[in-house]
Amino acid sequence: RKEVEQDPGPFNVPEGATVAFNCTYSNSASQSFFWYRQDCRKEPKLLMSVYSSGNEDGRFTAQLNRASQYISLLIRDSKLSDSATYLCVVTYNQGGKLIFGQGTELSVKP
């Protein structure tokens, strides 16, 4: 079983739709969680960190469920420009290892 797993998609949604991605992790020692966005083989860029209390940034909401060991990303009112691959990332305290999920591809259509 992979340490961090994501549904690779693709998710094809119309503009204005709400879409949610999940990411599960297997190591309960995981401490920090992030969502990154990657456009077509370009460098990944941080979308948002994920906190236990959940956090929101405009149309984007991230949640963490430690009991079930997953994080989620909700995108409301999808835009064409949201089309990208979304990567979840897990790190551990006091260590430099980062584990990436394989990414979930989102395609927003007019």
Write phi, then psi, for 30 (nearest 5 degrees): -55, 140
One of 53, 58, 81, 97 touching another protein (CB under 8 A)? 97
Beta carbon nearer to another protein, 14 or 95? 95
Neighbours of 45 (CB within 10 A): 11
In the region spanning residues 49 to 78, those forming contacts with another protein, defined by CB under 8 A, are 49
Which stretch, 21-29, 31-39, 52-60, 62-70, contacts another protein (CB under 8 A)? 31-39
Contact, 9 vs 1, CB < 8 A? no
One of 28, 29, 41, 81 touching another protein (CB under 8 A)? 41
End-to-end CA distance of the chain: 37
To the nearest whole angstrom, how small is the minimum distance from the Cβ of residue 65 to another protein? 21
Residue 31 binding another protein, by CB under 8 A: yes
The rounded distance, in Å, linking the Cα atoms of 86 and 52 is: 20
